[in-house]
Amino acid sequence: MGPLSLLDDSAGARCAVLGDPIGQSLSPLIHGTWMAREERVGLYHALQVLAEDLPVALAQLNEAGYTGCNLTIPHKENALSLCDELDGAARAIGAVNTVHFCEGKLHGYNTDAYGFMAALQAQLGDIPLEHVVILGAGGAARAVIYGLKKAGAKDITLLNRTATRAQALAEEFGVGYAAWENAPNVLGRATLMVNTTSLGMAGQPPLAIDVAALPAHAAVADIVYKPLMTELLKSAQARGLKVATGLGMLMHQAQAAYQIWFGARPVVDAALEQSLLEALGEPPLCG
Ligand code: ATR
């Protein structure tokens, strides 16, 4: 027995997302949609788990025969040392967002980098990755850098409010960094700019970056998805730049997690996006 109230095994395949807070998570809607489409007998639910309870919570899910779980704030980094095996992405990014319970062992994965790159491809197609500027130097930036480097991006520059943090991350991943004050210069040659900070999210301060400094052929991606069209994306779009929203990363990281657990690759489509927008209280997509 542990602290969580789990589903009994008559529910079929059981999965969960663990976090604190967790009420806002869209993962149950995403995975529930895919399970229903496949007529898979199973349930995916959200579990509130405090940081200090993660070891016992994972042990409890494993013991209870859950197929897997996703991890969100504040668990992604803490889970590293709790997994028996880690995939290369989880190791390099330093965070686990997906756990597969495999014959009593915990296999840890990170599907965020895949999610970001797949979303970029789905929304923008093959865009030039010659000069990429990444805003932020936190956990989300790590996944984005990893994904972009794997995709062949050679020139990546980190811009972060705290320059020392950007420097440390840049050295770890072998990329460049620049001081926030130099943003206009750095942005002037960017083919892609990615916001990995939470700035611009509902309830957070806006992101103080002027997209006027970007070249006309640049693309802008935001990992924030509430609101779907952040002020950053709106101003980029107003300039005629290509934009990618953050909801794609959320859906595609889930797609990879589902495939790890069940083998089948679920489809990310407009119907799924529409139901997420509805849950977020966003207006429907046009067209
Ligand atoms: P996550 O793991 O979600 O990426 P994080 O590690 O807290 O979260 O990182 C948040 C990022 O947003 C950091 O790059 C942070 O900049 P600092 O390293 O200077 O803290 C950035 N950020 C948060 N609030 C900010 C603000 N008001 N202005 C500029 N950058 C901010």
Nearest CA to ligand 1 atom 29: 161
Residue 287 has pLDDT above 60, yes or no: no
* Ligand 1 pocket test, candidate residues 78, 194, 197, most atoms within 8 A of CB: 197
Q: Which residue has the tokens 């957070």?
A: 204
For residue 100, give every residue at least 6 positions away whose Cβ sits within 8 Å of its Cβ, in sequence order, or none: 67, 68, 106, 107, 109, 260, 261
Q: What is the pLDDT of residues 226-262, one digit of tens each?
A: 999 999 999 999 999 999 999 999 999 999 999 999 9
Q: Which atom of ligand 1 is nearest to the CA of 205?
A: 27
Pocket of ligand 1 contains residue 161 by CB under 6 Å? yes
* Ligand 1 pocket test, candidate residues 76, 134, 161, most atoms within 8 A of CB: 161
Task: Report d(CA 154, CA 163) in Å as an integer.
Answer: 21
Nearest CA to ligand 1 atom 7: 138
Helix (H) or strand (E) holding 111: none
Average pLDDT, the chain: 96
Cis peptide bond upstream of 74, omega within 30: yes
- 5 or 58: whose pLDDT is higher? 58
- 8 or 61: whose pLDDT is higher? 61
76 catalytic, yes or no? yes
Q: What is the pLDDT of residues 217-226, one digit of tens each?
A: 999 999 999 9
Task: Report d(CA 217, CA 171) in Å as an integer.
Answer: 29
Q: How far is the CA of 136 from the centre of ligand 1 (A)?
A: 6
Pocket of ligand 1 contains residue 140 by CB under 6 Å? yes
Task: Report d(CA 194, CA 132) in Å as an integer.
Answer: 8
Pocket of ligand 1 contains residue 205 by CB under 6 Å? yes
Angle at 138 between CA 155 and CA 247, to 5 degrees: 85
Pocket of ligand 1 contains residue 139 by CB under 6 Å? yes
**Residue 118 pLDDT:** 98
What global pTM score does this model have? Answer: 0.95
Average pLDDT over every residue of 201-223: 96
Nearest CA to ligand 1 atom 30: 161
Helix (H) or strand (E) holding 162: none
Q: What is the pLDDT of residues 72-97, one digit of tens each?
A: 999 999 999 999 999 999 999 999 99
Pocket of ligand 1 contains residue 137 by CB under 6 Å? yes
**Residue 1 pLDDT:** 47
Task: Report d(CA 48, CA 139) in Å as an integer.
Answer: 21
**Catalytic-role residue among 76, 105, 226, 234:** 76
**Residue 46 pLDDT:** 97
